[in-house]
């Protein structure tokens, strides 16, 4: 097997054939090693797809939110939660924002998590209070909610409610119908509207009532959890957001409230989801590193078992580089097989995660991108090569005479 006697390309094919035959001869050991790669790659694909799905879902929601919207909320409140950490907004802040040039709409919202009763069954849900004068603008323009049945609030409405899709069909043992009554603490409200399914659990499990009614229930006469503002000219949204921030800083002190445009929220969410994806991928990569150690062990065993074969190859003209290539191709093939199967299993796991989450009403979105599959596949082959390097080098350094004497 003198490499200088074979045409270019034929030698590589011969190396590939020898590596493939070696894997076939050691089916059980090779299968177990490939299984380790499969587990690692499947974990990377499925877990990172969850983080990517979160990013795409939030980005899609924010794009629907529109580029001319501004969110004002107390500092330290992360996302759109039911309660704020820190000093709450007040009616005076709302009026100050409404007076800023360029702000066309400023809608106050109060969030609270409260017990909601329907036909004797109690559930803890997010209850939102919205000003009835601005409710149509809130539902249709700012939040882009669509009605499945009933109507939105009208000015002067008191003890009424518009409820999310899951509240209608999933939360209680019996489906909620129009004109049914819900009891929030000790106050009964009539269901006048039902929203179409939005796709995220927080909105689909929300009960929305007039702001004044929620304030009567909670006893909070002046508090506002957050303010959603809309500007006339989207090109001026950043300047207006800075003006709002400056006004609130002057009134309450710096870093008391956050003022964010849709673009800024998208950027922050992107940073968070990217970090989540990185952490999840890192956790999964640990199992791949363990699988890499398995490749190294498998290749070392192969070197020991094929010592006389290596001696024979060297005796008939194989160089150290030729021997090293044969073993590196073998370890790369193990990584390749594991990568292909792992990507397929990972895609299946991502779909399973989404299906199970929908079944339990959580609705976790997953997104398996071509870039993710390409990276995972390439990474698995790289792991095979890297962890096969030392055994291949050890095989290449064997002395032909000592290898032929090996028993």
Over the stretch 341-394, which tens digit does the pLDDT of each residue have? 999 999 999 999 888 877 776 667 788 889 989 988 988 899 888 888 888 888
If one compares 187 and 283, the residue with the highest pLDDT of the two is 187
Asked if pLDDT for residue 4 goes beyond 60, the answer is no
> What token pair was written down for 48?
């990172």
Q: Which pLDDT does position 362 carry in this prediction? A: 65
Under 8 Å between Cβ of 256 and 86: yes
Quick one: DSSP state of residue 152? -
If one compares 399 and 45, the residue with the highest pLDDT of the two is 45
Q: How far apart are CA 54 and CA 50, in angstroms?
A: 6
pLDDT > 70: what percent of the chain?
A: 89
DSSP bridge partners of 361:
none
Asked if pLDDT for residue 40 goes beyond 80, the answer is yes
Q: Which pLDDT does position 8 carry in this prediction? A: 43
Q: Which pLDDT does position 403 carry in this prediction? A: 58
pLDDT digits (tens, 9 = 90+) for 171-182: 999 999 999 999
Asked if pLDDT for residue 127 goes beyond 50, the answer is yes
Q: Which pLDDT does position 100 carry in this prediction? A: 92
Instruction: Note the maximum CA span of the chain.
Output: 99
Predicted TM-score of the model (pTM): 0.65
Q: How far apart are CA 102 and CA 107, in angstroms?
A: 15
Q: How far apart are CA 188 and CA 171, in angstroms?
A: 18
Going through 211-321 in order, the beta strands assigned E by DSSP cover 223-224, 226-231, 257-261
Q: How far apart are CA 183 and CA 89, in angstroms?
A: 27
Lowest mean pLDDT among 60-69, 151-160, 185-194, 274-283: 60-69
Quick one: DSSP state of residue 88? P
Cβ neighbour number for residue 150 with a 10 Å cutoff: 17
DSSP bridge partners of 150:
193
Under 8 Å between Cβ of 203 and 163: no
- SS3 call for 194: strand
């Amino acid at each position: 097997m003198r490499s200088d006697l074979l045409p270019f390309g034929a030698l590589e094919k011969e190396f590939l054939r020898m590596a493939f035959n070696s894997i076939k001869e050691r089916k059980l050991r090779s299968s177990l090693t490939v299984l380790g790669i499969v587990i690692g790659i499947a974990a990377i694909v499925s877990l990172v797809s969850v983080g990517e799905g979160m990013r795409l879902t939030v980005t899609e929601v924010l794009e629907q939110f529109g580029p001319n919207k501004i969110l004002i909320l107390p500092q330290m409140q992360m996302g759109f939660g039911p309660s704020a950490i820190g000093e709450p907004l007040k009616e005076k802040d709302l009026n100050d924002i409404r007076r800023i040039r360029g702000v066309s709409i400023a809608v106050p919202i109060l969030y609270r998590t409260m017990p909601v009763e329907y036909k004797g069954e109690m559930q803890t849900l997010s209850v939102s209070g919205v000003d009835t004068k601005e409710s149509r603008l809130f539902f249709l323009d700012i939040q882009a909610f669509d009605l499945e049945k009933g109507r939105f609030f009208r000015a002067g409405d008191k003890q009424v409610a518009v409820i999310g899709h899951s509240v209608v069909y999933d939360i209680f043992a019996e489906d909620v119908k129009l004109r049914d009554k819900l009891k929030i603490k000790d106050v009964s409200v009539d269901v006048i509207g039902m929203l179409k399914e939005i796709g995220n659990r927080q909105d689909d499990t929300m009960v929305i009532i007039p702001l004044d009614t929620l304030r009567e229930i909670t006893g909070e006469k002046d508090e506002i959890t957050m303010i959603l503002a809309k500007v006339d000219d989207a090109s001026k949204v950043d300047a207006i957001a800075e003006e709002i921030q400056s006004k609130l800083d002057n009134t309450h002190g710096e870093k008391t409230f956050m003022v964010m445009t849709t673009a800024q929220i998208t950027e922050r969410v992107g940073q968070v989801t990217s970090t989540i994806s990185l952490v999840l991928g890192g956790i999964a990569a640990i199992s791949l590193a363990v699988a890499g150690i398995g490749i190294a062990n498998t290749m070392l065993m192969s070197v020991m078992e094929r010592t006389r074969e290596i001696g024979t190859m060297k005796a008939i003209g194989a160089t150290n580089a030729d021997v090293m290539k044969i073993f590196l191709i073998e370890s790369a093939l193990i990584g390749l097989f594991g990568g292909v199967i792992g990507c397929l299993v990972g895609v299946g796991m991502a779909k399973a995660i989404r299906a199970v989450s929908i079944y339990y009403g959580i609705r976790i979105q997953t997104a398996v991108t071509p870039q993710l599959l390409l990276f995972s596949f390439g990474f698995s082959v790289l792991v095979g090569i890297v962890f096969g390097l030392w055994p291949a080098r050890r095989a290449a350094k064997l002395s032909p005479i000592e290898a032929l004497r090996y028993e």
